[in-house]
């Protein structure tokens, strides 16, 4: 029964996320719907592992949003320290360094698959 409740709750909250019901709370770069949904799924899995109910309270959903914000902030900090993201008067932008890293990684993966 709890597995069914779990799927129903995840489906309903997933619809709300996809409808943009939480978008106004995504206030920093790298906060995404997928990251938020993953946090919710993790919280539900933890509750189920302790024989709890798979439904999250509003406070638990808020906690997941805070966790999403913290994770996004940590991602942003790593990107900034690595020189992949820079802050300007217009806001944040990706630097040439990240494009070069992506290009290098892509070229390496292509070389690995060449026969």
Torsion of CA 13, 16, 17, 20, to 10 degrees: -170
Number of structural domains in the chain: 2
Q: Which of 58, 74, 71, 73 is nearest to 22 (CA)?
A: 58
pLDDT at 107: 85
What's the pLDDT tens digit per position in 86-98?
998 998 899 999 9
Q: 66 and 12: one domain?
A: yes
Listing DSSP states for 81-108 in one string gives HTTSEEEETTEEEE-HHHHHHHHHHHHH
**Residue 92: domain span:** 84-115
What's the pLDDT tens digit per position in 69-79?
999 999 999 99
Q: What is the largest CA-CA distance in the chain?
A: 54
Which of the four pLDDT bands, split at 50, 70 and 90, describes residue 63?
very high
Q: 6 and 50: one domain?
A: yes
Q: 25 and 60: one domain?
A: yes
pLDDT at 115: 45
Q: 36 and 90: one domain?
A: no
Say yes or no to pLDDT of 110 above 70.
no
Cα separation values, 65 from 19, 56, 62, 74, Å: 16, 12, 5, 14
Q: Collapse the DSSP code of 29 into the 3-class scheme (helix H, G, I; strand E, B; otherwise coil) and give the result.
A: coil
Question: Sign of the CA dihedral 8, 14, 15, 17?
Answer: positive
């Amino acid at each position: 029964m709890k597995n069914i409740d779990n799927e129903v709750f995840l489906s309903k909250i997933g619809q709300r996320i996809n409808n943009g019901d939480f978008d106004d709370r995504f206030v920093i770069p790298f906060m995404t719907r997928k990251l938020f949904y993953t946090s919710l799924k993790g919280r539900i899995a933890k509750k189920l592992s302790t024989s709890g109910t798979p439904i999250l309270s509003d406070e638990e959903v808020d906690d997941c949003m805070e966790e999403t914000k913290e994770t996004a902030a940590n991602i942003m900090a790593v990107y900034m320290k690595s020189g992949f993201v820079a802050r300007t008067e217009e806001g944040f932008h990706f630097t040439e360094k990240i494009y070069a890293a992506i290009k290098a990684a892509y070229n390496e993966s292509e070389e690995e698959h060449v026969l």
